[in-house]
Structure 1
Amino acid sequence: MPLYKHIQNNSDSDLYIWKITESVGELLQMVNLCDNDFKRFDKFGSESRKKEFLTTRILIQQCLGSHIQICNNQHGKPYLINSNLNLSITHTKSYVAILLSGKHTPALDMEYLSKRVHRIASRFLSKHELENISQTDKTLHLYQHWCAKECLIKLYGKKDVHLIDELKIHTFQPNDKYFTGEVCRSDFAKKYRFEYLRFDEYLLVYAVN
Protein backbone atom coordinates (compact mmCIF):
# COMPACT_ATOMS: atom_id res chain seq x y z
CA MET A 1 0.00 0.00 0.00
CA PRO A 2 1.16 3.65 -0.21
CA LEU A 3 2.34 5.66 2.74
CA TYR A 4 0.39 4.72 5.89
CA LYS A 5 1.00 7.91 7.89
CA HIS A 6 3.02 11.14 7.74
CA ILE A 7 3.50 13.34 10.80
CA GLN A 8 5.34 16.64 10.67
CA ASN A 9 6.53 16.90 14.25
CA ASN A 10 7.78 20.45 13.82
CA SER A 11 9.23 22.58 11.05
CA ASP A 12 12.42 20.51 11.13
CA SER A 13 11.33 16.85 11.38
CA ASP A 14 9.10 14.43 9.51
CA LEU A 15 7.91 10.97 10.52
CA TYR A 16 6.81 8.51 7.83
CA ILE A 17 5.21 5.09 8.41
CA TRP A 18 4.64 2.47 5.69
CA LYS A 19 2.51 -0.65 6.07
CA ILE A 20 4.01 -3.43 3.96
CA THR A 21 1.46 -5.27 1.85
CA GLU A 22 3.59 -5.65 -1.29
CA SER A 23 5.59 -8.66 -2.42
CA VAL A 24 9.38 -8.52 -2.70
CA GLY A 25 9.03 -8.37 -6.49
CA GLU A 26 6.64 -5.42 -6.32
CA LEU A 27 8.95 -3.56 -3.94
CA LEU A 28 11.97 -4.14 -6.19
CA GLN A 29 10.14 -2.38 -9.01
CA MET A 30 9.62 0.69 -6.83
CA VAL A 31 13.18 1.31 -5.66
CA ASN A 32 16.56 2.38 -7.04
CA LEU A 33 19.29 0.22 -5.47
CA CYS A 34 23.03 0.79 -5.76
CA ASP A 35 25.48 -2.10 -6.07
CA ASN A 36 26.14 -2.15 -2.33
CA ASP A 37 22.39 -2.28 -1.64
CA PHE A 38 22.00 -5.29 -3.95
CA LYS A 39 24.86 -7.06 -2.15
CA ARG A 40 23.23 -6.45 1.24
CA PHE A 41 19.79 -7.40 -0.07
CA ASP A 42 21.08 -10.77 -1.39
CA LYS A 43 22.47 -11.68 2.06
CA PHE A 44 19.07 -11.53 3.77
CA GLY A 45 17.60 -15.00 4.24
CA SER A 46 14.08 -14.09 5.30
CA GLU A 47 11.48 -12.52 3.05
CA SER A 48 10.32 -10.18 5.83
CA ARG A 49 13.83 -8.75 6.27
CA LYS A 50 14.12 -8.21 2.52
CA LYS A 51 10.80 -6.33 2.53
CA GLU A 52 11.90 -4.12 5.44
CA PHE A 53 15.18 -3.32 3.69
CA LEU A 54 13.45 -2.40 0.43
CA THR A 55 10.61 -0.44 2.02
CA THR A 56 13.00 1.71 4.04
CA ARG A 57 14.75 2.75 0.84
CA ILE A 58 11.47 3.30 -0.99
CA LEU A 59 10.34 5.65 1.78
CA ILE A 60 13.58 7.62 1.62
CA GLN A 61 13.52 7.89 -2.15
CA GLN A 62 9.85 8.85 -2.34
CA CYS A 63 10.46 11.60 0.21
CA LEU A 64 13.85 12.87 -0.97
CA GLY A 65 14.53 11.51 -4.47
CA SER A 66 15.79 8.35 -6.18
CA HIS A 67 19.43 9.49 -5.91
CA ILE A 68 19.40 9.26 -2.09
CA GLN A 69 21.12 6.20 -0.59
CA ILE A 70 21.38 4.81 2.96
CA CYS A 71 24.69 3.71 4.48
CA ASN A 72 25.73 2.66 8.00
CA ASN A 73 28.70 3.80 10.07
CA GLN A 74 31.03 1.52 12.03
CA HIS A 75 28.48 1.29 14.86
CA GLY A 76 25.60 0.39 12.53
CA LYS A 77 23.99 3.86 12.72
CA PRO A 78 22.33 4.76 9.39
CA TYR A 79 23.08 7.96 7.51
CA LEU A 80 22.17 9.38 4.12
CA ILE A 81 24.31 9.80 1.01
CA ASN A 82 23.49 12.89 -1.13
CA SER A 83 21.49 14.50 1.68
CA ASN A 84 22.34 16.54 4.78
CA LEU A 85 19.28 15.29 6.68
CA ASN A 86 19.70 13.13 9.78
CA LEU A 87 17.91 9.78 9.80
CA SER A 88 16.54 7.13 12.15
CA ILE A 89 14.91 3.87 11.06
CA THR A 90 12.73 1.26 12.76
CA HIS A 91 10.71 -1.74 11.61
CA THR A 92 8.64 -4.51 13.16
CA LYS A 93 6.38 -7.13 11.59
CA SER A 94 4.56 -5.43 8.68
CA TYR A 95 5.51 -1.80 9.39
CA VAL A 96 8.53 0.36 8.60
CA ALA A 97 9.09 3.92 9.83
CA ILE A 98 11.69 6.63 9.25
CA LEU A 99 12.28 9.92 11.05
CA LEU A 100 14.10 12.75 9.26
CA SER A 101 15.51 15.95 10.76
CA GLY A 102 17.67 18.71 9.36
CA LYS A 103 19.14 20.24 12.51
CA HIS A 104 18.76 17.57 15.17
CA THR A 105 19.56 13.93 15.84
CA PRO A 106 16.34 11.89 15.58
CA ALA A 107 15.59 8.48 17.04
CA LEU A 108 12.56 6.20 16.91
CA ASP A 109 11.59 2.65 17.80
CA MET A 110 8.44 0.72 16.98
CA GLU A 111 7.21 -2.50 18.57
CA TYR A 112 4.23 -4.85 18.33
CA LEU A 113 2.41 -4.86 21.67
CA SER A 114 2.57 -8.38 23.07
CA LYS A 115 2.71 -9.97 26.52
CA ARG A 116 6.27 -11.22 26.00
CA VAL A 117 7.60 -7.91 27.33
CA HIS A 118 6.39 -8.89 30.83
CA ARG A 119 8.88 -11.77 30.91
CA ILE A 120 11.90 -9.66 30.05
CA ALA A 121 11.12 -6.41 31.88
CA SER A 122 13.77 -6.99 34.56
CA ARG A 123 16.43 -7.23 31.84
CA PHE A 124 16.05 -3.61 30.76
CA LEU A 125 14.39 -1.77 33.66
CA SER A 126 15.90 -0.72 36.97
CA LYS A 127 14.21 -1.53 40.28
CA HIS A 128 12.96 2.05 40.49
CA GLU A 129 11.54 1.93 36.95
CA LEU A 130 9.82 -1.40 37.62
CA GLU A 131 8.22 -0.05 40.78
CA ASN A 132 6.64 2.78 38.79
CA ILE A 133 5.13 0.66 36.00
CA SER A 134 1.34 1.06 35.78
CA GLN A 135 -0.58 -2.08 36.69
CA THR A 136 -3.70 -1.00 34.79
CA ASP A 137 -1.96 -0.47 31.45
CA LYS A 138 1.14 -2.53 32.07
CA THR A 139 1.92 -3.79 28.57
CA LEU A 140 1.80 -0.33 27.02
CA HIS A 141 3.83 1.20 29.84
CA LEU A 142 6.55 -1.44 29.59
CA TYR A 143 6.84 -0.96 25.84
CA GLN A 144 7.01 2.81 26.25
CA HIS A 145 10.06 2.25 28.43
CA TRP A 146 11.52 -0.37 26.08
CA CYS A 147 11.10 1.81 22.96
CA ALA A 148 12.48 4.87 24.74
CA LYS A 149 15.61 2.97 25.79
CA GLU A 150 16.06 1.76 22.21
CA CYS A 151 15.85 5.42 21.17
CA LEU A 152 18.46 6.37 23.77
CA ILE A 153 20.84 3.77 22.31
CA LYS A 154 20.36 5.30 18.86
CA LEU A 155 20.84 8.82 20.21
CA TYR A 156 24.02 7.78 21.99
CA GLY A 157 25.15 6.20 18.74
CA LYS A 158 26.93 3.14 20.12
CA LYS A 159 25.63 -0.22 21.29
CA ASP A 160 28.03 -0.80 24.19
CA VAL A 161 25.70 0.73 26.76
CA HIS A 162 24.10 -0.86 29.83
CA LEU A 163 20.31 -0.81 29.58
CA ILE A 164 19.70 -0.53 33.32
CA ASP A 165 22.60 1.43 34.73
CA GLU A 166 23.28 3.91 31.91
CA LEU A 167 19.84 4.48 30.35
CA LYS A 168 17.27 6.09 32.64
CA ILE A 169 13.57 6.75 32.02
CA HIS A 170 12.03 9.30 34.37
CA THR A 171 8.76 8.46 36.10
CA PHE A 172 5.63 9.08 34.02
CA GLN A 173 2.14 7.71 33.45
CA PRO A 174 1.26 5.75 30.28
CA ASN A 175 -1.29 8.37 29.18
CA ASP A 176 1.12 11.32 29.54
CA LYS A 177 1.62 13.13 26.24
CA TYR A 178 5.39 13.41 26.76
CA PHE A 179 7.98 11.76 28.95
CA THR A 180 11.73 12.06 29.40
CA GLY A 181 14.84 9.97 29.81
CA GLU A 182 18.60 10.30 29.70
CA VAL A 183 21.88 8.66 28.85
CA CYS A 184 24.18 8.58 31.89
CA ARG A 185 27.75 7.76 30.89
CA SER A 186 31.08 9.34 31.73
CA ASP A 187 31.67 10.07 28.03
CA PHE A 188 28.10 11.14 27.23
CA ALA A 189 25.29 12.54 29.35
CA LYS A 190 22.14 14.07 27.89
CA LYS A 191 18.42 14.30 28.59
CA TYR A 192 15.75 13.73 25.91
CA ARG A 193 12.00 14.17 25.54
CA PHE A 194 9.90 11.42 23.97
CA GLU A 195 6.58 11.41 22.17
CA TYR A 196 4.67 8.33 21.12
CA LEU A 197 2.04 7.10 18.70
CA ARG A 198 -0.19 4.06 19.23
CA PHE A 199 -1.98 2.49 16.27
CA ASP A 200 -3.52 -0.95 15.71
CA GLU A 201 -1.49 -3.16 18.05
CA TYR A 202 1.72 -1.20 17.65
CA LEU A 203 3.60 1.46 19.59
CA LEU A 204 6.06 3.95 18.11
CA VAL A 205 8.19 6.16 20.36
CA TYR A 206 10.37 8.95 18.97
CA ALA A 207 12.62 11.81 20.00
CA VAL A 208 14.02 14.77 18.07
CA ASN A 209 16.58 16.65 20.19
Structure 2
Amino acid sequence: MALAYHKKIDSSTSFAIWKIEESADELLAQLQLKEHEKSYLDSLISGKRNMHWLSTRVLLRKMMDTDEYIDCRVDEDGKPYLTNFPHFISLSHSYDYAAVMVSKNKSVGIDIELVKNKIERIASKFMSVDEMQFIDENQRIEHLYVCWCAKEAIYKLHGKKNVSFIENIKLKPFAYEGEGSFAAKLELGTIKREFNVHYERFDGYMIGFVSDDINEE
Protein backbone atom coordinates (compact mmCIF):
# COMPACT_ATOMS: atom_id res chain seq x y z
CA MET A 1 0.00 0.00 0.00
CA ALA A 2 1.60 3.24 -1.08
CA LEU A 3 0.74 6.69 0.23
CA ALA A 4 -0.49 8.51 -2.83
CA TYR A 5 -1.51 11.84 -1.32
CA HIS A 6 -1.78 13.51 2.06
CA LYS A 7 -3.35 16.90 2.76
CA LYS A 8 -3.34 18.76 6.04
CA ILE A 9 -6.45 20.92 6.29
CA ASP A 10 -5.61 22.56 9.61
CA SER A 11 -3.80 21.65 12.83
CA SER A 12 -6.49 19.12 13.75
CA THR A 13 -7.77 17.82 10.43
CA SER A 14 -6.28 15.98 7.45
CA PHE A 15 -7.03 13.36 4.85
CA ALA A 16 -4.96 10.83 2.95
CA ILE A 17 -5.31 8.73 -0.19
CA TRP A 18 -3.66 5.33 -0.54
CA LYS A 19 -3.26 3.11 -3.57
CA ILE A 20 -4.29 -0.46 -2.80
CA GLU A 21 -1.48 -2.71 -3.98
CA GLU A 22 -1.24 -5.48 -1.37
CA SER A 23 -3.02 -8.76 -1.06
CA ALA A 24 -5.73 -9.26 1.57
CA ASP A 25 -3.28 -11.21 3.71
CA GLU A 26 -0.73 -8.39 3.58
CA LEU A 27 -3.38 -5.89 4.68
CA LEU A 28 -4.60 -8.19 7.46
CA ALA A 29 -1.07 -8.46 8.81
CA GLN A 30 -1.10 -4.71 9.51
CA LEU A 31 -4.29 -4.75 11.58
CA GLN A 32 -5.36 -5.70 15.09
CA LEU A 33 -8.83 -7.19 14.65
CA LYS A 34 -11.27 -8.37 17.30
CA GLU A 35 -13.68 -11.26 16.79
CA HIS A 36 -16.59 -9.03 15.72
CA GLU A 37 -14.41 -7.51 12.99
CA LYS A 38 -13.18 -10.88 11.80
CA SER A 39 -16.76 -12.12 11.64
CA TYR A 40 -17.83 -9.11 9.61
CA LEU A 41 -14.87 -9.51 7.27
CA ASP A 42 -15.76 -13.18 6.77
CA SER A 43 -19.29 -12.13 5.80
CA LEU A 44 -18.03 -9.98 2.93
CA ILE A 45 -17.75 -11.44 -0.53
CA SER A 46 -14.06 -11.71 -1.34
CA GLY A 47 -12.83 -9.16 -3.83
CA LYS A 48 -13.19 -5.39 -3.89
CA ARG A 49 -15.51 -5.08 -0.87
CA ASN A 50 -13.08 -7.10 1.21
CA MET A 51 -10.07 -5.12 0.01
CA HIS A 52 -11.79 -1.76 0.47
CA TRP A 53 -12.76 -2.59 4.08
CA LEU A 54 -9.22 -3.71 4.90
CA SER A 55 -7.49 -0.83 3.14
CA THR A 56 -9.54 1.92 4.83
CA ARG A 57 -8.73 0.37 8.23
CA VAL A 58 -5.03 0.11 7.43
CA LEU A 59 -4.98 3.73 6.27
CA LEU A 60 -6.86 4.81 9.39
CA ARG A 61 -4.20 3.10 11.52
CA LYS A 62 -1.45 4.92 9.59
CA MET A 63 -3.15 8.28 10.05
CA MET A 64 -3.82 7.74 13.76
CA ASP A 65 -0.15 6.78 14.20
CA THR A 66 -0.73 4.58 17.21
CA ASP A 67 0.17 1.08 18.37
CA GLU A 68 -3.09 0.83 20.32
CA TYR A 69 -6.07 -1.12 19.08
CA ILE A 70 -8.44 1.13 17.11
CA ASP A 71 -12.06 0.18 17.65
CA CYS A 72 -13.72 1.45 14.47
CA ARG A 73 -17.44 0.70 14.29
CA VAL A 74 -20.45 1.90 12.32
CA ASP A 75 -23.66 3.18 13.85
CA GLU A 76 -27.23 2.23 12.85
CA ASP A 77 -27.08 4.67 9.93
CA GLY A 78 -23.75 3.31 8.67
CA LYS A 79 -21.58 6.18 9.87
CA PRO A 80 -18.13 5.06 11.08
CA TYR A 81 -16.92 6.17 14.49
CA LEU A 82 -14.20 5.34 17.01
CA THR A 83 -15.12 4.05 20.45
CA ASN A 84 -11.71 4.45 22.08
CA PHE A 85 -10.43 7.68 20.51
CA PRO A 86 -12.11 11.11 20.45
CA HIS A 87 -11.40 11.69 16.75
CA PHE A 88 -14.04 12.13 14.04
CA ILE A 89 -13.52 10.07 10.90
CA SER A 90 -14.86 9.56 7.39
CA LEU A 91 -13.99 6.69 5.04
CA SER A 92 -14.28 6.29 1.29
CA HIS A 93 -12.97 4.05 -1.46
CA SER A 94 -13.21 3.65 -5.21
CA TYR A 95 -11.56 0.99 -7.34
CA ASP A 96 -7.82 1.12 -6.55
CA TYR A 97 -7.85 3.85 -3.90
CA ALA A 98 -8.87 4.24 -0.27
CA ALA A 99 -9.48 7.60 1.42
CA VAL A 100 -9.65 8.49 5.11
CA MET A 101 -10.32 11.88 6.71
CA VAL A 102 -9.59 12.42 10.40
CA SER A 103 -10.22 15.35 12.74
CA LYS A 104 -9.62 15.80 16.45
CA ASN A 105 -12.43 18.29 16.96
CA LYS A 106 -15.00 18.41 14.15
CA SER A 107 -17.27 16.22 12.06
CA VAL A 108 -15.91 15.44 8.60
CA GLY A 109 -16.95 13.88 5.32
CA ILE A 110 -14.94 12.70 2.32
CA ASP A 111 -15.74 10.97 -0.95
CA ILE A 112 -13.48 9.70 -3.72
CA GLU A 113 -14.81 8.51 -7.08
CA LEU A 114 -13.27 7.26 -10.30
CA VAL A 115 -14.35 9.67 -13.03
CA LYS A 116 -16.42 7.77 -15.63
CA ASN A 117 -18.98 8.80 -18.23
CA LYS A 118 -21.69 6.72 -16.56
CA ILE A 119 -22.48 9.58 -14.17
CA GLU A 120 -24.51 11.13 -17.01
CA ARG A 121 -27.10 8.37 -16.61
CA ILE A 122 -27.78 9.10 -12.94
CA ALA A 123 -27.37 12.89 -12.86
CA SER A 124 -31.12 13.46 -12.54
CA LYS A 125 -31.17 11.31 -9.40
CA PHE A 126 -28.90 13.62 -7.38
CA MET A 127 -29.00 17.00 -9.18
CA SER A 128 -31.91 19.43 -9.09
CA VAL A 129 -33.07 21.20 -12.25
CA ASP A 130 -31.56 24.46 -10.96
CA GLU A 131 -28.21 22.80 -10.23
CA MET A 132 -28.02 21.31 -13.71
CA GLN A 133 -28.16 24.84 -15.11
CA PHE A 134 -24.67 25.75 -13.89
CA ILE A 135 -22.92 22.61 -15.19
CA ASP A 136 -20.16 23.48 -17.69
CA GLU A 137 -20.96 21.61 -20.92
CA ASN A 138 -17.27 21.59 -21.87
CA GLN A 139 -16.37 19.79 -18.63
CA ARG A 140 -19.69 18.18 -17.92
CA ILE A 141 -18.50 14.83 -16.53
CA GLU A 142 -15.94 16.35 -14.14
CA HIS A 143 -18.39 19.02 -13.00
CA LEU A 144 -21.04 16.41 -12.24
CA TYR A 145 -18.55 14.34 -10.27
CA VAL A 146 -17.67 17.34 -8.11
CA CYS A 147 -21.35 17.76 -7.34
CA TRP A 148 -21.77 14.09 -6.49
CA CYS A 149 -18.67 14.01 -4.26
CA ALA A 150 -19.77 17.20 -2.53
CA LYS A 151 -23.23 15.86 -1.74
CA GLU A 152 -21.84 12.51 -0.66
CA ALA A 153 -19.30 14.20 1.64
CA ILE A 154 -22.04 16.30 3.28
CA TYR A 155 -24.23 13.19 3.60
CA LYS A 156 -21.38 11.36 5.34
CA LEU A 157 -20.71 14.26 7.68
CA HIS A 158 -24.39 14.45 8.63
CA GLY A 159 -24.45 10.70 9.07
CA LYS A 160 -28.18 10.03 8.79
CA LYS A 161 -30.04 8.03 6.15
CA ASN A 162 -33.11 10.22 5.76
CA VAL A 163 -31.44 12.66 3.35
CA SER A 164 -32.40 13.35 -0.27
CA PHE A 165 -29.49 14.55 -2.41
CA ILE A 166 -31.92 16.60 -4.49
CA GLU A 167 -34.31 17.94 -1.87
CA ASN A 168 -32.05 18.35 1.17
CA ILE A 169 -28.50 19.02 -0.10
CA LYS A 170 -28.28 22.09 -2.30
CA LEU A 171 -25.21 23.47 -4.07
CA LYS A 172 -24.58 27.09 -4.92
CA PRO A 173 -23.50 27.70 -8.54
CA PHE A 174 -19.76 27.35 -9.09
CA ALA A 175 -17.37 27.06 -12.02
CA TYR A 176 -15.36 23.85 -12.36
CA GLU A 177 -11.63 24.56 -12.18
CA GLY A 178 -10.05 21.19 -11.33
CA GLU A 179 -9.61 22.28 -7.72
CA GLY A 180 -11.52 24.69 -5.55
CA SER A 181 -14.37 25.22 -3.13
CA PHE A 182 -17.96 26.39 -3.14
CA ALA A 183 -20.93 26.89 -0.84
CA ALA A 184 -23.55 24.25 -0.11
CA LYS A 185 -26.30 23.78 2.44
CA LEU A 186 -28.17 20.99 4.15
CA GLU A 187 -31.84 21.64 4.85
CA LEU A 188 -33.74 18.88 6.61
CA GLY A 189 -36.72 19.76 8.80
CA THR A 190 -35.42 22.14 11.46
CA ILE A 191 -31.81 21.46 10.44
CA LYS A 192 -30.26 24.22 8.36
CA ARG A 193 -26.49 24.01 7.94
CA GLU A 194 -24.11 25.75 5.57
CA PHE A 195 -20.81 24.30 4.36
CA ASN A 196 -17.81 25.24 2.28
CA VAL A 197 -17.09 22.13 0.22
CA HIS A 198 -13.64 21.52 -1.23
CA TYR A 199 -12.77 19.40 -4.24
CA GLU A 200 -9.69 18.22 -6.13
CA ARG A 201 -8.98 16.11 -9.20
CA PHE A 202 -6.48 13.33 -8.52
CA ASP A 203 -5.11 10.72 -10.95
CA GLY A 204 -8.38 10.17 -12.81
CA TYR A 205 -10.43 10.43 -9.61
CA MET A 206 -12.44 13.22 -7.99
CA ILE A 207 -12.20 13.99 -4.27
CA GLY A 208 -14.76 16.01 -2.33
CA PHE A 209 -14.32 16.83 1.35
CA VAL A 210 -15.99 18.93 4.00
CA SER A 211 -15.87 19.63 7.72
CA ASP A 212 -17.95 21.58 10.18
CA ASP A 213 -15.41 24.37 10.11
CA ILE A 214 -12.52 24.05 7.63
CA ASN A 215 -9.98 26.77 8.28
CA GLU A 216 -8.95 28.56 5.14
CA GLU A 217 -5.27 29.23 4.53
Corresponding position of 1:118 = 120
What whole-Å deviation, never above 9, does each CA across 1:55-100 have from its counterpart, x for those lacking one?
1111122232241121011111100122100000100101111000
CA distance in 1, matches of 2:19, 2:124: 31
What pairs with 1:179-194 in structure 2 (closer than 5 Å)?
179-194=182-197
What whole-Å deviation, never above 9, does each CA across 1:178-208 have from its counterpart, x for those lacking one?
1111111113110111111211110010012
Native 8 Å contact 2:117 2:141 kept in 1: yes
Correspondence 1:14 to 2:17: no
* RMSD of aligned alpha carbons: 1.2
Unmatched 5+ stretches in structure 1: none
TM-score (norm 1): 0.96
Amino acid paired to 2:90: S
Native 8 Å contact 2:157 2:211 kept in 1: no
Q: How far is 1:46 from its partner?
A: 3.2
CA distance in 2, matches of 1:7, 1:120: 30
Native 8 Å contact 1:57 1:69 kept in 2: no
Q: How far is 1:35 from its partner?
A: 1.1
Correspondence 1:51 to 2:51: yes
Native 8 Å contact 1:124 1:146 kept in 2: yes
What pairs with 1:34-73 in structure 2 (closer than 5 Å)?
34-64=34-64, 65-66=66-67, 67-73=69-75
- Structure 1 residue matching 2:25: 3-state secondary structure: helix
- Structure 2 residue matching 1:161: 3-state secondary structure: coil
Amino acid paired to 2:205: Y
- Structure 2 residue matching 1:178: 3-state secondary structure: strand
Correspondence 1:198 to 2:201: yes
Corresponding position of 1:178 = 181
CA distance in 1, matches of 2:30, 2:91: 19
Native 8 Å contact 2:2 2:21 kept in 1: no
- Structure 1 residue matching 2:162: 3-state secondary structure: coil
What pairs with 1:37-186 in structure 2 (closer than 5 Å)?
37-64=37-64, 65-66=66-67, 67-175=69-177, 177-186=180-189
CA distance in 1, matches of 2:30, 2:159: 30
Report percent identity of matched pairs.
32
Q: How far is 1:127 from its partner?
A: 0.6
CA distance in 1, matches of 2:168, 2:29: 43
TM-score (norm 2): 0.92
- Structure 1 residue matching 2:176: 3-state secondary structure: coil
CA distance in 1, matches of 2:193, 2:92: 22
Equivalent pairs counted in the alignment come to: 209
Unmatched 5+ stretches in structure 2: 213-217
Native 8 Å contact 1:156 1:188 kept in 2: no
CA distance in 2, matches of 1:109, 1:160: 19
What whole-Å deviation, never above 9, does each CA across 1:96-155 have from its counterpart, x for those lacking one?
110001111110111110000111111111110011111111111000111111112112
